[in-house]
Amino acid sequence: LKGLILSGGKGTRLRPLTHTRAKQLLPVANRPILFYGIETLVDTGIKDLGIIVGDTRDEVRAAVGDGAAWGIKVTYIEQSAPLGLAHAVKTAQDFIGQDPFVMYLGDNLIWGGLRRFVQEFYETKANSLILLSPVEEPQNFGVAQLEKGKIVKLVEKPKDPPSNLALVGVYIFDHNIFKAVDRIKPSWRNELEITDAIQWLITNGYNVKPYSVTNWWKDTGKAEDILEANRMVLDEIKTDMSAGIHNHNSQLVGRVVVEEGVELTNSIIRGPAIIGAGSVIVNSCVGPYTSISRGVTIVNTEIEYSVIMEDCRIIDFPSRIRNSLVGGNTTLCRSTSRCKDINLVLGDNSQLFI
């Protein structure tokens, strides 16, 4: 079994952050989202992983390397342009060969692992197994219609959903998927859609099985999804202060992870929270549900439910920063006016004075 993680794409819904970085490398609890996906696949026993890359190839390569960090071999596969999930599959044909493979969208997070999903694929001897999850608003997702334990139809964002089972972004295919991707036509948005390829398999008599999970999962396509993923991952962290802290009169409440070289002065850190290496926090309240990346300076400011990326300076900020996603090297400072709570989505190198 091989793995295929899709880490190309356009990431338009995460602009401006994706003007300067790969969306799959945005941090959740101070680790790139992509690493969680890699670890989920490694946990199923996969040793041979292909990663589809596009414009952000160099950044993804620099972060993931050759896979040795996870004891696996990583092959990078260049997609000429982000022409759809099925186009990415087609691009990976030489790497996959005749082997079955797990396809995983690189901006997705799934809790609880995929071992049973993989086991089910082998036991049912299906041509394809599709991960599905019950959702409250199926009209916002790709939805599967089931009959007698098989998927008979997939519908994208249906007005009248045939079920509440949404496609999660994880699939197992055997080599027949390559016939399907060769036979389908681009959709109205000029992409080769994986749902059309799966529909082709169904229509042509291949065995496409559903596999439902109720575990938490998240497609982190938008800023609020990253903040939610950050909250979910921080909910699972255990206190770790083994790196040591320079603590001057500060309090750490609840579960907090502190990386090396952090300096805290007259501050309160409310867990769950993570404070990145070399960050300095003075006269401030940070957390709960907040990830501060490395090299961040926070002075006289309150921050909660937020993700602050590397090397930001947040000084005397007059409002409590809440539910905010702040790109690297951003400066947020006090100006003369006074405001209440604000919500921020700021790209790298932004400056905000309010």
Instruction: Specify burial of residue 157 (Cβ count, 10 A radius: 0-12, 13-18, 19+).
Output: exposed
By the rule CB under 6 A, 347 interacts with ligand TTP:
no
Instruction: Please give the span between the terminal C-alpha atoms of the chain, in angstroms, as a whole number.
Output: 53
90, containing H or E segment: helix 85-91
By the rule CB under 6 A, 26 interacts with ligand TTP:
no
Shortest distance (Å) from residue 123 CB to ligand TTP = 28
Site string for ligand TTP, 186-205 (x = CB under 6 A): -----x--------------
| CB burial string 19-41: b at 16+ within 10 A, e below | eebbbbbbbbbbebbbbbbbebb
Structure token digits, residue 37? 């996906």
Q: How are beta strands 101-105 and 150-156 bridged, if at all?
A: unpaired
Shortest distance (Å) from residue 247 CB to ligand TTP = 39
Shortest distance (Å) from residue 62 CB to ligand TTP = 17
Q: Which residue lies nearest ligand TTP, judged by its C-beta?
A: 9
Closer to ligand TTP by CB, 9 or 288: give it. Answer: 9
The Cβ of residue 324 has, within 10 Å, a number of other Cβ atoms equal to: 22
Shortest distance (Å) from residue 148 CB to ligand TTP = 30
By the rule CB under 6 A, 32 interacts with ligand TTP:
no
* Cα separation, 352 vs 354, whole angstroms: 6
By the rule CB under 6 A, 12 interacts with ligand TTP:
yes
By the rule CB under 6 A, 142 interacts with ligand TTP:
no
Closer to ligand TTP by CB, 6 or 155: give it. Answer: 6
Structure token digits, residue 125? 């001897």
Beta strands in 72-197 (DSSP E): 73-78, 101-105, 108-110, 128-134, 142-147, 150-156, 165-173
Shortest distance (Å) from residue 189 CB to ligand TTP = 9
What strand order describes the sheet that includes 302-304?
A: 251-253, 268-270, 285-286, 302-304, 321-322
Shortest distance (Å) from residue 180 CB to ligand TTP = 16
Q: What are phi and psi of 292, to 5 degrees?
A: -110, 120
Which of 105, 233, 245, 280 lies at the binding interface for ligand TTP (CB under 6 A)? Answer: 105
DSSP 95: H
Q: Report H helices in 235-283.
A: none
Binding piece for ligand TTP, criterion CB under 6 A, among 4-12, 109-117, 150-158, 279-287: 4-12
Closer to ligand TTP by CB, 48 or 55: give it. Answer: 55
By the rule CB under 6 A, 106 interacts with ligand TTP:
yes
Site string for ligand TTP, 36-55 (x = CB under 6 A): ----------------x---
Which of 4, 25, 60, 88 lies at the binding interface for ligand TTP (CB under 6 A)? Answer: 88
Q: Given the rule CB under 6 A, which residues bind ligand TTP? A: 6-13, 24, 52, 79, 82-85, 87-88, 105-107, 191, 221
